Structure formats: structure tokens, C-alpha cells
Amino acid sequence: MPSDKKLRIIHTEASPHWGGQEIRIFEEMKWFREQGHEMILVAPDNGTLYQRCKDEDFEVISLYFTKPRTLLNILRMIWVIWRKKPNVVATHSSTDSWAGLIAASLNNVRKRVRYRHVSTPIKKNRLNKFQYLILSNLTITTGNCIRTDIINKFKTDHGKVISIPTAISPPSQLKDRTAARKLLSCEIPDIANKFIIGQVSVLRSWKGHKVLIDAFNILNSLHKNTSLVIVGDGPVRSDIEGYIKSTKNNGKIHLLGHKEDPFIFLRAFDLKVLASTKNEGIPQSILQAMYCQTPVIGTSIGGIPEIINHGVSGLIVEPNNAYQLANSIISVIKEYEKSEKMAQNAHHFVNLEFSKQKLWQRLINLFS
């Protein structure tokens, strides 16, 4: 049911890319609008988030949050907020947060929210303390590990820093695994009978694609009937393509680029791996794989151990350890019935803990 108190919320986002952070903003905005609230996005018009929000008929305002133009960004944000008079200003990245929170403070906006999506330890300095404790009066983190870091660094009130992970946004109807495998076979011939290891993520340096490729080369010497499928696009695509070409098993490694519906691929995989080396909150791709009842392996980075209970709902490995990752993948292959049981546990966990109604209703309560 829509909330009785209607909110006008401005979200700001500097990044032009499309990853978990931008998906979180987009899905959150859609859900809030369904509850009767007014949503506005301020972002660069060359970004995917801007275009998708525009296509969904959200009000969008173009602003390039670049560091050399910080003063101009602040002045423009002051003007936007003065005109729109929001109840809430929610900022998401470093450059847009300075402009958005300063402008919101000068306009006396009631709720000034700083989201923190990544687990990279925040620097303990006066500028960050000023941003998180003075300019903002509420910090939303995507994982408890991020929340704990902020509280410990700045000795702030626990009630001002709240962890609310990203809710899962599954399709209305999930394809069965056989149908998903057939669709994948249309893109990659002769893969239907292989054991498919997959990673779905933006192609960034810290997502661990090279570690996964190294692990695949190790295990493939023992398990020939395997393929590695990488879904995603991003800043390091050419580097990953070159790395794949340099390996002896490059014919078994497939980089498919960005795909609109990740659930089809996650259903087709026999195993989902996220080999991140840093910067993770609560990764959407792991939650999505869990929803699909696909076994998962993740690294002990950021919020990943918060959602993978090792040996119960998936497996955890050290980051940057290709040999350990290869051995864990081999254990999944050898004991797949046990892995399927863990995948069922993971599916139950996601359904119970990561619904939009449960998580984002908490946001409405905090913003109201």
C-alpha cells in the first residue's frame, strides 16, 4: 500500500556506468514511485542510469559531477533543490555527494542521506568526517561491514548509520534451467552438455576476472568438460579480452558482454563465481544467483560473507587465490548434490531476507 505521507526525493549519481550501485538506485526509485512518492534523478545525461530513468518517465536533470567544476556543481545543485523543494536528498558517489549534501544543507533539506555502496575502508580525515557527520544526517550502507567501518572511524551515533542491503528484483517469471541452457546454446554452440562456470558483473579491475580465469585454467587440466562464461561490460573489457586470448584454454572461455536479463544466464550456469578482490557491499549478482538456485562461490571481501554462510548456502574463498578457488570449484563439481542443497538454502535465505517490501519499507520509515 502507498504511504500516507508523500515524499519528494532527489537522487544524485555521478557515475555514467551501469552496475550494482546504479541498478540499486533505479530499482529503488521505481519501487518508491509505486508507493506514491515523487522521484527525481540528477546525473550526467551520457550515463545509462540517466537514460533508463528518462525512458521510465522519471524527472531527470542533467549535471556532470566533475571535480574541477565542484563549485559550479554546488551552485547548480542549490538551484535545483531550491526549485524542487525535496523532503530528501540522497547522494551516492564521492563527487555528487559533496555537491548534493552542501546544497541540501544550505537549503535546509530535512533528510540529507549519504549512501555508501562499497566496502573500501573510508579514509579517516576531517573532510570525510564533515561529510558523513555534519552535511548528512543519515548514512545508508549496503552491508554491515561498511556500517561498522564508518561508526568505528568517526565514533558516530549508531542510529545515524543504517545498513539496508539492495533488495532482489527478480523477473515475474523465471525460466527453467533447461530453457535457459537452450538460450545460452544459441550464443555458444556445443556448450549445452558442459559444466558451466559463470561470472556476471561489470568488468572492473577489482571484480577478479583474471583470478577466475587462472582458476579455470588450473581446474580444466583435471575437468576437461567445463566452460567459463563471463557476462558483463565495463572499463577493463579490452584488458580481459587480451588476457583470455593469452591463455591456453581460450576456446573454452566466453566473454558475452552486457546482457539485459542476467537471470537467464544465472539459471543456465552450473556454478556462479564472484572472485572480487575489494570494493564489495552486498553484490546483486550473488543474490540473483541464489534466487535462481544456482550454487555460488564468493570471496571473503566486504559484505559477501554476510550473505554466503560458508558450507551452508555457498562457499567462501580468499581473494587473489586462484588455487584455492580452483579447488573449491572442483569440490562443487565432485559433490554437486551437496552444492544443490546449499543452493536451496540460499534461495530460501534470499526470499526471506531480501524482498523489496521488507528492505525498502525501512527506507520509507527512515525518510518520513
DSSP string, 73-141: HHHHHHHHHHHH--SEEEE-SHHHHHHHHHHHHHTT-SEEEEEE---SPPP-SHHHHIIIIII-SEEEE
CB–CB of 101/114 below 8 Å? Answer: yes
pTM of the prediction?
Answer: 0.87
What pLDDT is stored for residue 2 in this prediction?
47
DSSP state of 165: P
Q: Which three cell numbers stand for residue 193?
A: 552438455
Per-residue pLDDT of the chain (368 residues), as tens digits, is 444 689 999 999 998 888 889 999 999 999 999 999 999 999 999 999 999 999 999 999 999 987 756 888 999 999 999 999 999 999 999 889 999 999 999 999 999 999 999 888 888 999 999 999 999 999 999 999 999 999 999 988 888 999 999 899 888 888 889 999 999 999 998 898 899 999 999 999 999 999 999 999 999 988 999 999 999 999 999 999 999 999 988 899 999 999 989 999 999 999 999 999 988 889 999 999 999 999 999 999 989 999 999 999 999 999 999 999 999 999 999 999 999 999 999 999 999 999 988 898 999 999 98
What pLDDT is stored for residue 156 in this prediction?
85
What pLDDT is stored for residue 1 in this prediction?
43
CB–CB of 112/138 below 8 Å? Answer: yes
What pLDDT is stored for residue 158 in this prediction?
86
Q: What is the CATH number of domain 177-353?
A: 3.40.50.2000
The Cα 54–Cα 218 span in angstroms is: 45
CB–CB of 206/281 below 8 Å? Answer: no
Domains 8-163 and 177-353 share a fold: yes
Q: 3-state secondary structure string, 226-293?
A: EEEEEECCCCCHHHHHHHHHCCCCHHHEEEEECCCCHHHHHHHCCEEEECCCCCCCCCHHHHHHHHCC
What pLDDT is stored for residue 66 in this prediction?
79
What pLDDT is stored for residue 164 in this prediction?
94
Q: Parse the chain into domains and list their residue ranges.
A: 8-163, 177-353
What pLDDT is stored for residue 68 in this prediction?
57
Residues in the chain: 368
Q: 8-163 adopts what CATH topology? A: Rossmann fold (3.40.50)
Residue 368: strand, helix, or coil = coil
Backbone angles phi, psi at 18, to 5 degrees: -130, 105
